[in-house]
Amino acid sequence: MKNLVRAFLGIGSNLGDSQEILVTAIDKIDEVTAVSGLYETAPIGGPEQDSYLNLVVEINTAFPPRELLGFCQDLEQDAGRVRKERWGPRTLDVDVLLYGDLTLNDPDLIIPHPRMFERAFVLYPLSELGPEFLSEDWEASVADQAITRLGDWSNFT
C-alpha cells in the first residue's frame, strides 16, 4: 500500500456554468477529504473578465507531485480549458498549492504554489482547511482584494 500525502488544490472557474464545472471537477477527485466554502473573487491581472468562483480542496493522494499536476491538467482539459493568454478567463483552473511538507522549485512545478500567499482566493478558503499553513497576519497581506464567501460547499452540490 502506498503512503498517502496530504495535499491542497486551488480550484477556480469564471467561464461557462462555473458552479457546475466545479462540482464536476471535484466529483472526479477520489481522494477528497474536505472542501472549503465557495468564494466569489475579482480577477487579478490579465484582461477584463468576469468574477471567479474559487475554493480549496484537501486531498490524501498517492500520486507523486508531477502525476498530481498531470491529473489537475487533465481535469482542466476535461472542462474545455483553452490556454490563450496568461491570467485570462478559464472554464477551470486547478493548481497544486501544497503537497505535504515538500518544497519543489522546478520550471514546470513549484510547491508551495509561488503566488498562493498573495491571493485572497487561495488564502481565505485555505484558512478553513489548513490554517496552520498561514501566518497570523495573512489577512493583512490580501486586504485590498475583493472576496465574498458564498457559503458552505455542501450548499452548492
Q: Which of 27, 81, 86, 108 is catalytic?
A: 81
Residue 66: active-site member: no
Answer whether 35's CB lies under 8 Å from 57's CB: yes
Q: Which of 83, 95, 137, 152 is catalytic?
A: 95
Q: Which of 6, 90, 108, 152 is catalytic?
A: 90
Residues 6+ apart with CB under 8 A from 40: 51, 52, 53, 54, 147, 148, 150
Residue 90: active-site member: yes
Residue 74: active-site member: no
How far apart CA 11 and CA 96 sit, in angstroms, is: 9
Query: Which residues are paired to 34 by β-bridges?
Result: 58
Residue 119: active-site member: no
Q: Which of 6, 66, 93, 106 is catalytic?
A: 93
Q: Which residues are marked as active site?
A: 81, 90, 93, 95
